[in-house]
Amino acid sequence: MPQWTVDDIAWDKFDPKKVDPEMVRIAKAACMVEHHSGDYGAYLCSVFPDDAEFSAAAAAWAQEEIRHGQALRRYAELADPSFNFDEAFERFVANHKIDTTAKESVRGSRCGELVARCVVEVGTSAHYSALRDSATEPVFREICQRIAGDEFRHYKLFYTYMKRYQKAERINLLARAKVAAGRLFESADDELAYAYHCGSGESLPYDRRRAIKSYAARTLPLYRYGHVELGFGMTLKAVGIKPQGLAGKVLTRLAWAAFRGYARYLERGLAHA
Ligand SMILES: [Fe+2]
Ligand SMILES: [Fe+2]
């Protein structure tokens, strides 16, 4: 896999005048979730203990995700020197534990696990692409550009292994669609929202429902059609539906209409909050 390090980023191009406090809050949340990938890598190795090739790929993948966390952390600390990563991360992890000794995938099969990984990777690739295209601060744009590219490669990595396990386990289209839909809706779970809450340093008690809506209201409106089209199309591909076929095109249009409708509804709520 091509590698870059945190020191490859052109930190000297940082422009404090273009810092968007909202993007900094999003960077704080993302850096915590990315840092947590070490535990997720351990979970994957535990679920695939007899597949040395995949375990090695999963361990390398986890290191790349942690590097995303390091870059975002450095950015957040540069833009907001008062950000205390260690304190926020400790608070975040205490409520988001990953079972690193699991013997079976929480998705019911190894193929299902890999479909879920594809959904997450393509979702994060779209997320960072949307942030990159909305941000004006050059260093943040560069970080998002680099990470979006990595997440896209991660999708391809998990997709390759998913195809192998799909053949071995004979997991049909419906079962894969169920896992993908489940993981898509789970994306609305509170991992990022809770990280956003922890990173904001708010002393208010955590209100899960409010936090999920509040985080989504700030990020979903940043997505353009191209981000959703690519992300949803690759999700369909992981399920086994051709994104360029008639069904794929119709489903993508419906998904975009539903996505935009929800994003607008959230925006209106934010405006009246
Ligand atoms: Fe990442
Ligand atoms: Fe990734």
Burial 101-138 (b: 16+ CB within 10 A, else e): eeeebebebbbbbbbbbbbbbbbbbbbbbbbbbbbebe
Task: Count other C-beta atoms under 10 Å from residue 258's C-beta.
Answer: 11
Per-residue confidence of the chain (273 residues) as pLDDT tens digits?
558 999 999 999 999 999 999 999 999 999 999 999 999 999 999 999 999 999 999 999 999 999 999 999 999 999 999 999 999 999 898 888 888 899 888 888 899 999 999 999 999 999 999 999 999 999 999 999 999 999 999 999 999 999 999 888 888 888 888 888 877 776 556 788 888 888 877 777 888 888 888 888 889 999 999 999 999 999 999 889 999 999 999 999 999 999 999 999 888 877 666
Residue 30's nearest CA partner among 113, 154, 157, 132 is: 132
> Look-up: residue for tokens 């076929």?
245
The Cα 116–Cα 70 span in angstroms is 24
Residue at 93 is within a domain: yes
How far away, in angstroms, is 12 Cα from ligand 1 center?
A: 23
How far away, in angstroms, is 121 Cα from ligand 1 center?
A: 8
18 secondary structure, DSSP code? G
Whole-number pLDDT of residue 30: 94
Whole-number pLDDT of residue 2: 55
Whole-structure pTM value: 0.91
The Cα 239–Cα 177 span in angstroms is 5
How far away, in angstroms, is 143 Cα from ligand 2 center?
A: 14
**Burial of 150 per CB tally in 10 Å (0-12, 13-18, 19+):** buried
Q: Which domain holds residue 139?
A: 16-271
Phi then psi for residue 262, to 5 deg, are: -70, -40
Residue at 25 is within a domain: yes
Ligand nearest to the CA of 61: 2
Residue at 135 is within a domain: yes
How far away, in angstroms, is 7 Cα from ligand 2 center?
A: 20
- Specify the number of domains making up the chain: 1
The Cα 204–Cα 194 span in angstroms is 12
The Cα 83–Cα 78 span in angstroms is 9
Residue at 164 is within a domain: yes
Around ion ligand 1, residues with a beta carbon closer than 5 Å are: 34, 65, 68
How far away, in angstroms, is 68 Cα from ligand 1 center?
A: 5
How far away, in angstroms, is 272 Cα from ligand 1 center?
A: 33
Residue at 2 is within a domain: no
Residue at 229 is within a domain: yes
How far away, in angstroms, is 128 Cα from ligand 2 center?
A: 11
How far away, in angstroms, is 145 Cα from ligand 2 center?
A: 13
Residue at 6 is within a domain: no
Whole-number pLDDT of residue 114: 94
CA 56 to chain centre: 21
Residue at 221 is within a domain: yes
The Cα 162–Cα 238 span in angstroms is 8
Whole-number pLDDT of residue 95: 83
Whole-number pLDDT of residue 64: 96
Whole-number pLDDT of residue 225: 94
Q: Decide if 113 contacts 107 (C-beta within 8 A).
A: yes
How far away, in angstroms, is 247 Cα from ligand 1 center?
A: 30
Whole-number pLDDT of residue 172: 83
How far away, in angstroms, is 37 Cα from ligand 1 center?
A: 8
CATH number at residue 245: 1.10.620.20
Q: How many residues does the chain have?
A: 273
The Cα 127–Cα 122 span in angstroms is 8
